[in-house]
Structure 1
Amino acid sequence: MTHLKRRKFMKYATASSLGIALSNTATFGMSLRSSKNTSIGIIGIDTSHSVAFTKYINGQENGFEVIAAYTTVSKDIPASYERVDKFTQELKESGIQIVDSIKQLLELVDCILLETNDGRLHLEQAEEVFKSGKPVFIDKPVAASLKDAILIYEAAKKYNVVTFSTSGTRFMSQAQKVRNGSIGKVMGADTFSPVKYVPSHSDLFWYGMHGVEHLFTVMQTGCTRVRRTKTGICDTVVGEWDDGRIGTFRGIVDGKGGHGGQAFGTEEIAYLGRWEGYEPLVDAILHYFRTNEVPVEPSETLEIYAFMEAALVSSEQGGVWVTLESVMKEAGN
């Protein structure tokens, strides 16, 4: 994304965030909008994001309304099958129509939030949406493998659909300030987040990507190689950028969790702040639905996932340096 686009986006995001406090006064099931709103459909109800995003969108006057949802369940992922009934019931009680297929959903709505917990399903689900030409935000992880992540963006290009995927950590206010020059040039950064592993996904894709996304938000693209040290209580990845800068991600396996970090600039050192909630991410999604402008380019997202894939290979090979180019080539790009 160009500097100008980032400035335009941040101007929008800052202004839109002023409405967050007001939205908290609205109840979940209360719609404040008219029938002229742009309609949103959700694919995937097995995540708390589906409920949280619906609550925020439908609780304020923003020109959008979540009206329908479709879900599947992954029987080998507890976070999916243990929660899907609860979240489905919450959406039903808020007046959201539950439909039987993605095809039926696409007939009802203008835009899509792809929230399915299981990244293995994202390629097939996203491609069906791309064929319709409707805009779609793909929640994390964009896919369960680097190969599928690449195929998703290739499919979007094939069907001429602009899409994006990101973690909410990208929109933590201090990280956005640093990205936009508040501490001068970023010379390095350290970020942290909890990590959880599921066998069906490349290991950092499932939850560690929150901290890796945070790292790339401030360091931006240009990472060439990584090496990883993984123990029973810590998971650390060191990345080297093409200009000699170093960025590190610390995955918290055991102990107090949280999201944060530090960035080291030519003018200042900045603490990257605490988690501030989903609202800035949802504001970014709605801005994309309005304008077709994305806050993160596919190239940056794919570099994030190549970073995590290279980290996996590094750990499998005893912590050696692994290039991002090598894993991208292996994944077929």
Structure 2
Amino acid sequence: MTVLKIGLVDLDTSHPGSFVPILRKLGHEVAAVYDGGIINPEGYAAKFAQDQGIATVCESVADMVDRVDIALIHSCDWDIHIERARPFVEAGKAVFLDKPIAGNVRDLNQIVQWVKDGARITGGSSLRSCNEVREWRTQDVPAEEWVYALAGCAVDEFNYGIHAYSMLHGLMGPGVRQVRYIGGSAESQRQYELMWEDGRRGVVSVGKTSGYLPFYANVVTQKRVDYIKVNNGNLYQSLLETVLPYLAGSAPADIAIEQLVEVELAAIAAKLSFEQGGATIALNEIPESYAGYDGAVFAKSYKELKYPSAK
């Protein structure tokens, strides 16, 4: 097995710290870290590196490029993912973009184009490849036996809600054609219906609730009903085991990039549908000029939550 040198870019969330022991368990080296300071105070990266036993703290993304084989980008402002990824892509290094991959069509199109041009890029939510979803998919239910599926979670509509879209996408597979808002409100959960190219339909329920909800799904076919509740303890290892062989260049991607970005496109279409009073929005008709989800606004709220004194 080739030992990969892995760099962590932006230590905004809990994911970098959770990924480190798993990456080492899988036999790889976490070689360097960089934090842009959007969320964390000065000195955070040095303390993180010391606590995690990581040798190098980089002063910039450019400083990291030649030190690693793969960059894992964890910026919670998804609008800077392209900026963070570009130096690695131009140097021929593989990139993992943590969820959400991007919040607008323009950035998603750039990622797809990079991959078409030969870059190795993947990312997104761990729910698409979690053990429970993969186990359910072994049933290989024909489209004509499908009734519907519902997937959901709490907290917010995009940063966390993307997990529900990803879980539904993992269960039903690629091929989402259009989305429409079907109910709920900004003060509670909203529901959105997704339609697949073959006519199958599924629903996500996302947004804030008064208490935490697990990642869950109900799947109904002509012959059975399954309730799926995800074990959060296995999520990250399952994700990394799925994506690392591709990022290392030793295996094909587990899903084509055009299919992977359907998850974020569906969420963006859902937002646009809500704003248009429940209009049906086709994924391929979302204007590239549409703002989508604002990463900087989310990052500000995330920082205030992580560091209340920053308010």
- Output the TM-score relative to the length of structure 2: 0.82
For 1:123, the equivalent position in structure 2 comes to 82
Quick one: which of 203, 220, 235 aligns to 1:264? 220
Quick one: which of 270, 280, 297 aligns to 1:311? 270
Instruction: Say if 2:239 is the partner of 1:281.
Output: yes
Instruction: Say if 2:5 is the partner of 1:50.
Output: no
Q: What is the distance in 1 between the residues matched to 2:152 and 2:43? A: 32
* CA distance 1:225–1:50, shift in 2 (3 Å): same
Counterpart code for 2:101 = V
Instruction: Say if 2:153 is the partner of 1:193.
Output: yes
Q: Displacement, 1:297?
A: 1.7
Q: Displacement, 1:233?
A: 1.3
* Aligned 8 A contact 1:306 1:328 in 2: no
Q: Displacement, 1:292?
A: 4.0
Percent identity for Structure 1 against Structure 2:
24
1:25-64 paired onto structure 2 within 5 Å: 37-58=3-24, 60=25, 62-64=26-28
Q: Displacement, 1:262?
A: 1.4
RMSD (Å), alpha carbons? 2.4
* Aligned 8 A contact 1:187 1:265 in 2: yes
Instruction: Say if 2:199 is the partner of 1:244.
Output: yes
* CA distance 1:207–1:318, shift in 2 (3 Å): same
For 1:172, the equivalent position in structure 2 comes to 130
Instruction: Say if 2:49 is the partner of 1:91.
Output: yes
Q: What is the distance in 2 between the residues matched to 1:144 and 1:81? A: 22
| Count of residues in correspondence between the two structures | 281
**Structure 1: runs of 5+ lacking an equivalent:** 1-32, 75-79, 197-203
Counterpart code for 1:236 = Q
- Output the TM-score relative to the length of structure 1: 0.77
* Aligned 8 A contact 2:65 2:87 in 1: no
Q: What is the distance in 1 between the residues matched to 2:162 and 2:282? A: 18
Q: What is the distance in 1 between the residues matched to 2:246 and 2:253? A: 6
Counterpart code for 1:67 = A
Counterpart code for 1:73 = G
Counterpart secondary structure, 2:261: helix
Q: What is the distance in 2 between the residues matched to 1:319 and 1:195? A: 22
* CA distance 1:133–1:306, shift in 2 (3 Å): same
* Aligned 8 A contact 1:235 1:250 in 2: yes
For 1:157, the equivalent position in structure 2 comes to 116
Deviations 1:255-288 (A, max 9, x none): 3322011122344322222233322112223232
Q: What is the distance in 2 between the residues matched to 1:281 and 1:302? A: 16
Q: What is the distance in 2 between the residues matched to 1:265 and 1:85? A: 53
Identify which range, 89-98 or 179-188, moves more after superposition.
179-188
Counterpart code for 1:192 = G
* CA distance 1:38–1:322, shift in 2 (3 Å): closer
Q: What is the distance in 2 between the residues matched to 1:268 and 1:48? A: 37
* Aligned 8 A contact 1:224 1:242 in 2: yes
* CA distance 1:111–1:325, shift in 2 (3 Å): closer
Q: What is the distance in 1 between the residues matched to 2:160 and 2:239? A: 17
Instruction: Say if 2:35 is the partner of 1:71.
Output: yes
* CA distance 1:329–1:179, shift in 2 (3 Å): farther
Deviations 1:130-173 (A, max 9, x none): 11111111111111322211112212333x11211221111222
Q: Displacement, 1:87?
A: 6.5
Q: What is the distance in 2 between the residues matched to 1:88 and 1:281? A: 27
Q: What is the distance in 2 between the residues matched to 1:289 and 1:221? A: 21
Quick one: which of 163, 168, 178 aligns to 1:215? 168
* CA distance 1:85–1:187, shift in 2 (3 Å): farther
Counterpart secondary structure, 1:108: coil
Counterpart secondary structure, 1:190: strand
Q: Displacement, 1:88?
A: 5.3
Q: What is the distance in 1 between the residues matched to 2:232 and 2:170? A: 15
Q: Displacement, 1:230?
A: 3.7
Q: What is the distance in 2 between the residues matched to 1:287 and 1:267? A: 36
Counterpart secondary structure, 1:148: helix
